[in-house]
Structure 1
Amino acid sequence: MLARLRAEAHTGSGARWLYSDQADALARYALKFHEGVRLMEACAPTFHEPVRDVSWEMIGADCEGENWEDHRDPQRAYRLFRAKLRRAAQDGVRLKYKLWLGRGA
């Protein structure tokens, strides 16, 4: 299953929508191939207001130096990914994630 998700994450559509534990498993699996989370989108199947912060919704539009194209470092990308998962959990939001993977430098 992880191999199939990894292949999907290299397409223009990205991997299918995954729950956080599945997305984390895919991101960890990608590290074995020196790949990292290049882009990420998140959506909430059931959304509860008010939301305090939405910075956990995506990877790829972060501060300068934090985006994949700035560093191409799979470990650094994984740390950012995990931080966003933690922030969403702290805000009490259950999200589904779509990931795109990239080869590290």
Structure 2
Amino acid sequence: MTQYALLIYGRDVDWSQPEYATEMKDYDTFGRENGASFRGGAALHPTSTATTVRVTGARGGDVVTTDGPYAETKEALTGFYLVEAADLDGALKIAQECPGAWDGGVEVRPVLELGA
């Protein structure tokens, strides 16, 4: 089985706020229905809480940190799931059930497993 990252892009909101409770129920349903494939995942705080780190040159270079996300876009990375599926088609089937695909997009990308 291969692992896939389901990267959820959508509205940049604080999903912990009560006004999103109904939409979060959709994610709870998605989790119950697909949980056997999950290997990890989380919702992310809004991009306003992000800090970007850059190192000029290479290791040991000057470190520059900036408030906010790496790039400004209409949709933000709002969460992710790490799933296991037999193949890309299986991962795509899971992704289409993700509520993030209904009002945004879910990028499906195979995970490159690094040395143990």
TM-score (norm 2): 0.29
Max radius of gyration: which structure?
2
Which structure has the highest helix share of the two?
1
Larger % of strand: which? Answer: 2
So what's the TM-score if we normalise by structure 1?
0.31
